Chain A
Amino acid sequence: MFKVNLKKTWNNFTIKVDFEIPLGKVTALFGHSGAGKSSILRIISGLEIADEGMISDGKELWYDSTKQIHLPVQRRSIGFVFQDPSLFPHLTVEKNILYGVKGKRSLNEIKDLISLAGLSGYERFYPAQLSGGQKQRVTLIRALVRRPDLLLLDEPFSALDWEARRQLQEDLKRIIKQLNVTTLYVTHDITEVYKLADKVVVLESGRVLRHGTPEDIFMGKRLSTRIQIVGKVVGIESDSIMAAVTIMHEDQYFKALVDAEEIERLNLVVGDDVVIGAKSSDVIIFKVLTQF
């Protein structure tokens, strides 16, 4: 269990957080831009130093202001994937991946990782020859090949279009589960939290608002069997009784009819992130007739 307890003040912004990252699980650091997500990630990685607090990986202290401990970035067992691909432009895919590998590592293992990310055949390519999604895969593999204790992902898919993003989300989930690596995932996309995270820490202006499982946080209660559609509200039509809420989930539109009062109660407006949920007993399925 990673323990993170930090305080850092910039000119007019303070981060003060205290949370835990369970081992072998994906923890999402969720919040709107400017909430301090990336800064926390940078402090945990050691690229920046907190004013006070403590970071520990459960065995070793990475940072402790009272004991004057600050492990430099190089000595923390981390893998880092940034928002923009940070591949070394002068190295091939293979050399990029092997950059951080000290000593001998079996070639098969590296080959396995490369094929796990769907990058077989691209070993001799330069980053400039790859698509945005492929670049992020290489960055991910480069981070994972060192077998880090903690994988830090800073909105790794935000620069990609939805199709590449969806594919990468699936791959990331698969890879992380297969390697069982502890992950801290920064995102402002609620869909990603749902897809990937086991635990979510909600941040607002540098403070932890809530933390728990995504269901607990975003739905208030746990539903045993359910249908969930996570997305952004793109349209609300309502009359005095019923309201039709159109939400967009990736590139798909969904329309849900709800009580107009619900819209009022939630103060729902276009642009909100929502989850539409229903118990399975409430769901009716029609077969669309194609022959009359």
Chain B
Amino acid sequence: MNYTSKTSKISTSIISSNNSTRDSLKRFGDKRISDLLVESRNINVHKQRVREFIIEKLVFIGGLTAIVFIALIFIFLFKEGVRAFFLIKPMEFIGTHILDFDDNRVFACMWQPVGEPGKFSIVPLLIGSFLVALPATVISTILGVGCGIYLAEIASIRMREIIKPAIELLAGIPTVVIGFLCLTLLATFIQNVFHTTFRLNAFVGAIGVSLVIIPVVASITDDALRAVPSELREASYGLGATKWETIWKVVVPAGISGITASIILGMGRALGETMIVIMATGNAALVTGNIFSSVRTMTATIAAELGAVPHGSSQYYALFLIGSVLFLITFVLNLIAEIIINRMRKKLKL
């Protein structure tokens, strides 16, 4: 069998078939059909290019808007916030010397912006915010991460189909409704159980806020754990580990970067939450470490006071400064989260 003769036969047959198609081309006006086809294809290609160009630019503008908006918010907030320093001495944002009941001069951290002179310490507000956000983060970590683990690892498909939408529904409840329930039902219940002095306190607020963050933590944890390759689970079973050992020793550690992210994101939301804390925490700007005491958070202060404050007054700018501080805190929190996650990813190459 001659190999070369075979190929030459094939190549001649290709040429001959080409000739026959050329002959069979019909003329269409002055142009051949093949020319028309080429032309129409060129038009199509052109159209496609224009369309792609427009889509590309639209998407680019979409991406840009987010950055532009953040930059604008940032600039506006800080521009207004910085002006507080022109009207109020920097030290006053920590505390001022006041006379106590025995006429002694004492240093006190107080937020009394409408007093004469106004006291603009943001310390009680910071304490208030964290006294709500930290317990809320702890509660939502325990329940949210637990829920995420259950959804990703243990729940049957049927259970998952029921629970997942339910959690999403929880995330969809307006915060004012949760705040209302905290104010009316939960506060009474907490006071009856713990016999607290204040009916509305940081703990009630924390529980309310955690209801908002649990869905966030649960769904990000769920996603993070489901992204862990099934080979790891199977390898663990293959090495004699039980389901629980596999979850605790393999799946959770492998998905820890996602879980950490969910917790820090949750904390960011807890710090930014406004409606629930304004309704459920009592809004008394106290310097305290007791979670059963009334507190006033930064967000609640801004929301409650900014609407009623004279434009351009010391209080007006002080509120913007609080806003800037809140912005900075959440920014730093997100940054830390990003750094932690990147480090873990690099180390584990996930």
Contact = CB atoms under 8 A, between A and B. Distances in A.
Interface string A95-130: 000011010000000000000000000000011100
A128 B343 CA distance: 13
A80 B241 contact: no
B238 A143 contact: yes
B1 interface: yes
Contacts of B253: 88, 90-91
B348 A99 contact: no
B232 interface: yes
B45 interface: no
Interface centre among A75, A90, A239, A263 (most CB of B within 10 A): A90
B241 A74 contact: yes
A45 B233 CA distance: 13
Contact of A126 (B240, B241, B250, B348): B348
Secondary structure at the B interface, as helix, strand, loop or mixed, is: helix
A87 to B, nearest CB: 8
A51 to B, nearest CB: 21
B2 A146 contact: no
A180 to B, nearest CB: 21
Interface centre among B3, B349, B350 (most CB of A within 10 A): B3
A90 B238 contact: no
Given A128-B347, A128-B348, A237-B3, A88 B237 contact: no
Given A84-B231, A90-B253, A100 B239 contact: yes
Contact of B254 (A90, A146, A240): A90
Interface string B245-272: 0000110011010000000000000000
Interface string A120-154: 00000011100000000001001100100000000
A143 B256 CA distance: 25
Given A89-B349, A128-B347, A238 B238 contact: no
Given A80-B238, A86-B234, A126 B2 contact: no
Contacts of B346: 128
A57 to B, nearest CB: 15
Interface in A47-97: 47, 72-75, 78-80, 82, 84, 86-91
A260 interface: yes
B219 to A, nearest CB: 23
Given A74-B242, A126-B347, A240-B1, A86 B237 contact: no
A264 interface: yes
B312 interface: no
Contact of B238 (A45, A128, A236, A239): A45
B349 A47 contact: no
Contact of A82 (B2, B3, B235, B347): B235
Given A99-B249, A100-B240, A80 B235 contact: yes
A82 B231 contact: yes
A99 B231 contact: no
A240 to B, nearest CB: 6
B229 interface: yes
B231 A86 contact: yes
B236 interface: yes
Contacts of B237: 46-47, 72-74
B250 A88 contact: yes
A102 B240 contact: yes
A86 B1 CA distance: 51
Contacts of A128: 346-349
Given A47-B234, A88-B249, 6 more contacts: A72-B237, A74-B240, A79-B238, A86-B234, A87-B235, A128-B347
23 contacts: A45-B238, A46-B237, A47-B234, A74-B240, A79-B238, A80-B238, A82-B234, A86-B229, A86-B231, A86-B234, A88-B232, A88-B250, A90-B256, A90-B348, A99-B239, A100-B240, A126-B348, A128-B346, A128-B348, A142-B239, A143-B239, A238-B1, A238-B2
Interface of B: 1-3, 229, 231-232, 234-242, 249-250, 253-254, 256, 346-350
In the A-B complex, the 3 residue pairs with the smallest Cβ-Cβ separation, listed nearest first, are A100-B239, A128-B349, A80-B238
